[in-house]
Structure 1
Amino acid sequence: MTAIPVTVVGPKESGKTVYLASLFRRLAMQRDDVGFFVQVSPEQAKKLNNIYQEIVAPDTWPEATLLAHTPEWEFACSVRTGQGRVFSPFTVSYLDFAGEHLTGSGETETGKHVWERIRKSEFLLVLLDGVKVLRCFDGDYRLVDELVPVFNALQSNNAVVHFVVTKWDLLEAAGHTVGTVLDRLQEHDDFRACFEDRLRRAGEAGALRLIPVSSLGAGFAVPGPDGETMIKKGRFPRPQNVEVPMMAVLVDLFDKTLKDMERAQPGRPDDDALRRRTSQLDRLRTFRKRIPAVRAFLQARAATSPAARVVRDTMLDALVDYVDRQVSEYDRKIEHDVARLRGRVTQARTEKEALIGLVRSFRATLADFEVAHPGSSVLGKAS
């Protein structure tokens, strides 16, 4: 199956390897509080599990990704139904680059490939080390300085961007919230300029999220005396929110497809006028009327957009049915209860039903997440 390509970037020691291993372990089994699981190749499952075992071992941490090594991890999002069937309606491919590429010269062939991939990416997962974020509150903004090359790459694309703040348990213990973190990061001129540019381009740019995660959970490790080395405390890991970015990828792909189609329509009013005059329901109804043009649009976009190819090849029928259901439920004012929606996913009879069920349950989960962490969805909806 064609995979949704996500480029994972972050400064050295931002926790990319730990995050991906934790994501695998969290989703290796279908859990009631998540409602799905992931399948990976046996070779990758073994590698990720070995990394995780190094993480939980008393005195070791996994080695950082080598500069010349750019692993690509494919996670097939899967659902086991009540009838024992397994559907895998979409796959996310995470391309993991060494953090040194953000601060190195980029003169190697691998480095050039890294930056070409970042510039062309439609989905960027940017990991921010929670320890370095904490230092921003003391006036140490080296983290933002390291991210300036990424900000520069964002000037020339409209990618969906998920800033994932790792080690969130440390920030939470210090009394910080998504709002206070975002405010503090914007104290740096470069971060604020990037942030404001994305807001100005809300009509064209993909979603922008700031997602707090803890790959290992509260109390598993704390900063040592040097403020950098993480010291393990002997507790059992309990990951928090690691699955949220994966959920957001599918929801934001659907929303970005609807937004891009809307922008491609001739005679479309400017974005501000559109936001004033039309409701989300009106726009969904308009999309439904234009279904005959959808296939032609995606066919044209697929030539240059891997994400559009995924929708065209594996998700188009589900996208159309999803819009139909959204319109119907707007009319009936149906409440979106996450547990109920997860239960419906396990009743799916086809892969298309499983995909529709997942995107609806993911959207409801993200809505609850935004309530718990106000401000995490900066540009989370199709604008």
Structure 2
Amino acid sequence: MEIVLNTYTVIMLGPSGSGKTVFLASMYKKLSTQGEHGFFLEIDGAEKRKRLNNIYTQIAVDEKWPKGTTYSEISEWTFTCRVQTENLPIYSACKFAYLDYAGGRLTDEMEEEDAAFESKLKEAETMLGLLDGQRLSALMRNEKLGKLWAINDLPNMLHVMQNNDKPIHFVISKWDIVQGNFTLEQIRDRLLQIEEFSNLVKVRNKKGTPVRLIPVSAVGMGFAKLQPDGSMAITGELPQPFHVEVPLACILPDMIQSQLEELMRKKEEELSKPLEDKADLSFWDKLGQVFGGGLKILQNIQQLLPKKYQFAEDILKKMIEYAEEPAQKKQEAAVKKTDELRREQAASLKAVSDEETALKHVINCFLSIRNKLDHTFPESDITLL
């Protein structure tokens, strides 16, 4: 009997040239075999596998950057997360469908709204917004290219994003040309000076929906250098993708947090009174107020979650505990959790024997990757409230 895996949909938004297709090709290249991250990706269809590999080859060998997605094209890329055990059998855990919309949909004038686009946008579980590192760098230097991006491209993307209430991952592409000139904290603070960006973050923070700022380089450090005329010159070094696995790893943990915040909000409305809100009250304590303490809290939560988020109780508990750290304390907590998560990842790999245990292991892998992000870039979690 064939097992039907849960599929989680990600909408990729970004103006032309921001690097959406290159990001996918690089993510697939890095995760196409099982390495330190403990799982690998398999793309649906040989044609798409060859296409992504060809795109990556164009960059790494032919020194050509691929053409952008045409206006009429809506590219869908479905990846299956799979785990190979120590005895070599392979089990599938879940799927992620990335919908790559042409940048022109955000910036070009249209006579009518695209109904198909709007429908897909509302159904997506996560939005991934590509922020071009080259244009961000120009903005930091108060150059015309950066100002144009901040006034036109960015607000158009933010306007689309506000029509979906799911987690947002802002991915800074081309981090290799940003690093060394600006820190992630400086980039974050500059973005928050843009009213549209700040407004979106504040609304999401109030609702408890995660917003992240994730630095990524599809080719890695030293592969290409920015030229005085704004072009990119390839140095001849082999590409070493940086952080391309991180946005994928953040999807499920952030969605669980968002779903639980929504459940608490609905329960609060049913009670017709606000729940106790103390500064030192953990996320777990807040859930206890709504769903009752003790052993039944996880069972009560599980029954209310959408089916695709009804994970095993031990995994659900782990994601809740992970979500409860305040943003300002996550870096300190991440250091303490590193070894623990590494041990849990190794143990869960040994326990993989079917699709359910494969999913448990993959989520452990995701938490380990996200923990590294919190350690290395604590300002990635944009929390203002």
Q: Which of 364, 368, 384 is the matching residue for 1:364?
A: 368
- Give me the whole-angstrom Cα distance separating, in 2, the residues matched to 1:284 and 1:353: 26
Q: Which of 332, 337, 343 is the matching residue for 2:346?
A: 343
Moved more, 47-56 or 8-17: 47-56
Partner of 2:308: 310
Kindly state the Cα deviation for residue 374 of structure 1 after the two structures are TM-superposed.
2.1
Kindly state the Cα deviation for residue 279 of structure 1 after the two structures are TM-superposed.
2.1
Partner of 2:171: 164
Moved more, 90-99 or 183-192: 183-192
Kindly state the Cα deviation for residue 118 of structure 1 after the two structures are TM-superposed.
3.0
- Give me the whole-angstrom Cα distance separating, in 1, the residues matched to 2:249 and 2:32: 15
Moved more, 338-347 or 123-132: 338-347
Any idea what the Cα deviations from partners look like across 1:211-242, whole Å, max 9, x if unmatched? 00111001111223321x22211110000100
**TM-score, normalization by structure 2:** 0.83
Kindly state the Cα deviation for residue 250 of structure 1 after the two structures are TM-superposed.
1.7
Any idea what the Cα deviations from partners look like across 1:313-354, whole Å, max 9, x if unmatched? xxx242x33235678999xx9955242233123212332222
Kindly state the Cα deviation for residue 284 of structure 1 after the two structures are TM-superposed.
5.5
- Give me the whole-angstrom Cα distance separating, in 2, the residues matched to 1:195 and 1:326: 22
Partner of 2:252: 250
Amino acid at match of 1:195: V
Partner of 2:117: 114
Amino acid at match of 1:191: F
- For 2:41, what is the secondary structure of its paired residue? strand
Cα RMSD between the aligned structures?
2.9
- After superposition, residues 60-99 of structure 1 pair within 5 angstroms as 60-99=64-103
Q: Does structure 2 conserve the Cα–Cα contact (< 8 Å) formed by 1:178 and 1:374?
A: no
Q: Does structure 2 conserve the Cα–Cα contact (< 8 Å) formed by 1:222 and 1:232?
A: yes
Q: Which of 29, 34, 39 is the matching residue for 2:33?
A: 29
Residue 18 in structure 1 maps to residue 22 in structure 2: yes
Summarize the Cα distance change of 1:274–1:357 in structure 2 as closer, same or farther, 3 Å threshold.
Answer: farther
Q: Does structure 2 conserve the Cα–Cα contact (< 8 Å) formed by 1:90 and 1:355?
A: yes
Kindly state the Cα deviation for residue 177 of structure 1 after the two structures are TM-superposed.
1.6
Kindly state the Cα deviation for residue 77 of structure 1 after the two structures are TM-superposed.
1.0
Partner of 2:185: 179
Summarize the Cα distance change of 1:341–1:106 in structure 2 as closer, same or farther, 3 Å threshold.
Answer: farther
- For 2:74, what is the secondary structure of its paired residue? coil
Summarize the Cα distance change of 1:190–1:291 in structure 2 as closer, same or farther, 3 Å threshold.
Answer: closer
- For 1:71, what is the secondary structure of its paired residue? strand
Partner of 2:237: 235
Kindly state the Cα deviation for residue 46 of structure 1 after the two structures are TM-superposed.
1.3
Partner of 1:321: 314
Partner of 2:9: 5
Aligned length: 357
Kindly state the Cα deviation for residue 138 of structure 1 after the two structures are TM-superposed.
1.8
Summarize the Cα distance change of 1:129–1:84 in structure 2 as closer, same or farther, 3 Å threshold.
Answer: same
Q: Does structure 2 conserve the Cα–Cα contact (< 8 Å) formed by 1:79 and 1:345?
A: no
Q: Any unmatched runs of 5+ in structure 1? A: 299-307
Partner of 2:379: 375
- Give me the whole-angstrom Cα distance separating, in 1, the residues matched to 2:251 and 2:76: 17
Q: Does structure 2 conserve the Cα–Cα contact (< 8 Å) formed by 1:218 and 1:238?
A: yes
- Give me the whole-angstrom Cα distance separating, in 1, the residues matched to 2:191 and 2:16: 19
Residue 142 in structure 1 maps to residue 135 in structure 2: no
Summarize the Cα distance change of 1:222–1:352 in structure 2 as closer, same or farther, 3 Å threshold.
Answer: same
Kindly state the Cα deviation for residue 188 of structure 1 after the two structures are TM-superposed.
2.3
- Give me the whole-angstrom Cα distance separating, in 1, the residues matched to 2:163 and 2:319: 33
Q: Which of 281, 289, 298 is the matching residue for 2:296?
A: 289
Kindly state the Cα deviation for residue 112 of structure 1 after the two structures are TM-superposed.
4.4
Q: Which of 210, 214, 217 is the matching residue for 2:213?
A: 210
Q: Does structure 2 conserve the Cα–Cα contact (< 8 Å) formed by 1:284 and 1:327?
A: no
Q: Any unmatched runs of 5+ in structure 2? A: 325-332
Amino acid at match of 2:165: N
Residue 194 in structure 1 maps to residue 200 in structure 2: yes
